[in-house]
Amino acid sequence: MLPLPTAYKVVAGASEGKNELTAFDRALLKAGIGNINLIRVSSILPPKAICKSDMVIPPGSLTPTGYGSIISTKPGQIISAAVAVGIAENSMV
């Protein structure tokens, strides 16, 4: 079991590539999370987790990550994907 995270950050990235995987990987790199191991989770934040936009995650870290993605095979087409973060009133965040 991984330790309970005490901090989180919200990032965004967009890119194009010769194939879907390349575009997704480049978007992750632009978001600053391309060199970590993403463990896909839902969007539930741990109690008392603090948003730290300047948080540095060491390369190769196993990192719980809530993310969304959408793809297109048409060059230059603008598409969007998003993940919302809900914070409960009683979470004391």
- pLDDT tens digits, residue range 26-45? 889 999 999 999 999 887 88
Q: What is the pLDDT of residue 56?
A: 93
d(CA 28, CA 84): 17
Q: Which residues contact 81 (CB under 8 A, 6 or more apart)?
A: 68, 69, 70
Domain 1-93 has CATH 3.50.20.10: yes
How distant, in Å, are the alpha carbons of 8, 9, 31, 38 from that of 54?
10, 8, 13, 18
d(CA 28, CA 32): 6
Q: What is the pLDDT of residue 90?
A: 66
Backbone angles phi, psi at 47, to 5 degrees: -55, 140
65, 40 contact by CB (below 8 A)? yes
Ranges of residues in the chain whose predicted pLDDT is under 50: 93
**pTM of the predicted structure, to 2 decimals:** 0.77
Domain boundaries, the chain: 1-93
Q: What is the pLDDT of residue 88?
A: 64
Q: What is the pLDDT of residue 14?
A: 84
Amino acid type, 8: Y
Q: What is the pLDDT of residue 29?
A: 92
